[in-house]
């Protein structure tokens, strides 16, 4: 299969691409800089230079491909506080991909998130639709709707609901590096409330394999959970970070302490992976979150 991957040099992309190549697929990855291009080539893929604003280039790459994995997002804009601008860019990309794939019978695996099924008061399954309360505040909800509509437009599209914590040695900007940085700067490894709320998590290499398997064989409309830990209490995460940094672990009263993570700190997000394991013949094979934090790489300066 000829596969086009956006976000090919990112945390998940750097796991997806070599897995695709090893499985015998011909892979082209989008890269917006020389550094990203070199990283994509090192992973074994060909490079298409461009960024998310080059819609004509994206259309050409999607036309060439038999399958598309869409991972890219304007994280620089998001970290700068321009979530609306980042979401608008993503929506334009998604509409371009959707219009190009419509009616072709090709495959697409797109990013969603298990946080979309948080707050259900129980363990969420792959059969659960997105929680309307979360969809109402998600800047990507319109893009998700566009992609979901591809099922009726003749595309074998699947959603890989990545957990809020995707961890691994290449993780530089996710939830864990952010919490480590906050603990360094404030002197406290904190958690909100009693810290009993749980976050699902998955090792990047396990997540990457699910994307490859989704593209190969997931049925149209499938929702998949590439999760290793079904739910880790946020207090346990804070304790692991405290151990690694030698900082005290304490509850924090104000969510603002956690910067852009503030809206997520109290969310309870336990999820099931039973359907994903059955559908894809997949099981996590890499360390869980606490073991990965305790390995020490998150604390290297």
Residue 119 has pLDDT above 90, yes or no: no
Q: CA-based diameter of the chain, in Å?
A: 57
- pLDDT tens for 75-114 read 666 666 677 788 899 999 999 999 999 999 999 999 999 9
User: pLDDT band at residue 276, thresholds of 50, 70 and 90?
Assistant: very high
Residue 74 has pLDDT above 90, yes or no: no
Task: Check residue 258 and give its pLDDT.
Answer: 96
Averaged pLDDT of the chain: 94
Angstrom distance (rounded) from CA 246 to CA 243: 5
Task: Check residue 155 and give its pLDDT.
Answer: 97
- pLDDT tens for 217-273 read 999 999 999 999 999 999 999 999 999 999 999 999 999 999 989 989 999 999 999
Contact call for residues 2 and 67 (beta carbons, < 8 A): yes
Task: Check residue 137 and give its pLDDT.
Answer: 67
Residue 300 has pLDDT above 70, yes or no: yes
Q: What is the pTM of this model?
A: 0.93
Task: Check residue 84 and give its pLDDT.
Answer: 78
Contact call for residues 290 and 232 (beta carbons, < 8 A): yes
Domain architecture of the chain: domains with CATH: 2-165+203-228 (3.40.50.720), 170-201+230-299 (3.90.25.10)
186 phi and psi angles, rounded to 5 deg: -95, -15
Q: Considering only CA atoms, give the Rg of the chain.
A: 19
Residue 172 has pLDDT above 80, yes or no: yes
Task: Check residue 296 and give its pLDDT.
Answer: 97
- What lies within 8 Å, CB to CB, of 100 at 6+ separation is 58, 59, 62, 63
DSSP string, 276-287: HHHHHT----S-
Starting at the earlier edge strand, list the strands of the sheet with 229-233. 165-167, 198-203, 229-233
Angstrom distance (rounded) from CA 145 to CA 154: 15
Task: Check residue 204 and give its pLDDT.
Answer: 97
- pLDDT tens for 146-171 read 999 999 999 999 999 999 999 999 99
Residue 281 has pLDDT above 90, yes or no: yes
166 phi and psi angles, rounded to 5 deg: -110, 120
- pLDDT tens for 15-54 read 999 999 999 999 999 999 999 999 999 999 999 999 999 9
Task: Check residue 87 and give its pLDDT.
Answer: 85
DSSP string, 202-214: EEHHHHHHHHHHH
Angstrom distance (rounded) from CA 60 to CA 280: 30
């Amino acid at each position: 299969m000829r596969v086009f991957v956006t976000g090919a040099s990112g945390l998940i992309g750097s796991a997806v691409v070599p897995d695709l190549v090893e499985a015998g697929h011909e892979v082209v990855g989008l890269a917006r800089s020389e550094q990203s291009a070199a990283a994509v080539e090192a992973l074994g893929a060909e490079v298409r230079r461009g960024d998310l604003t080059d819609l004509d280039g994206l259309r050409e790459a999607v036309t060439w491909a038999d399958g598309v994995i869409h991972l890219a997002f304007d994280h620089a804009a998001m970290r700068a506080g321009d979530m609306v601008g980042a979401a608008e860019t993503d929506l334009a990309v998604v509409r371009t991909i959707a219009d190009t794939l419509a009616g072709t019978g090709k495959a697409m695996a797109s990013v969603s998130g298990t946080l979309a099924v948080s707050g259900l008061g129980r363990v969420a399954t792959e059969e659960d639709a997105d929680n309307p309360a979360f969809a109402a505040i998600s800047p990507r909800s319109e893009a998700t709707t566009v992609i979901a509509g591809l099922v009726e437009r003749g595309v074998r599209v699947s959603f890989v609901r990545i957990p809020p914590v995707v961890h691994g040695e290449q993780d530089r900007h996710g939830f864990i590096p952010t919490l480590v940085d906050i603990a360094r700067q404030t002197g406290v490894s904190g958690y909100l409330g009693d810290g009993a709320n749980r976050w699902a998590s998955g090792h990047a290499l396990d997540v990457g394999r699910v994307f490859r398997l989704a593209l190969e064989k997931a049925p149209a409309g499938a929702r998949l959970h590439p999760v290793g830990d079904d739910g880790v209490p946020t207090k346990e995460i804070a304790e692991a970070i405290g151990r690694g940094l030698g900082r005290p672990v304490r509850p924090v009263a104000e969510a603002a302490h956690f910067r852009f993570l503030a809206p997520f700190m109290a969310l309870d997000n336990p999820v099931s992976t039973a359907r994903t394991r059955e559908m894809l013949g997949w099981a996590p094979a890499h360390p869980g979150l606490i073991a990965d934090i305790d390995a020490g790489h998150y604390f290297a300066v």
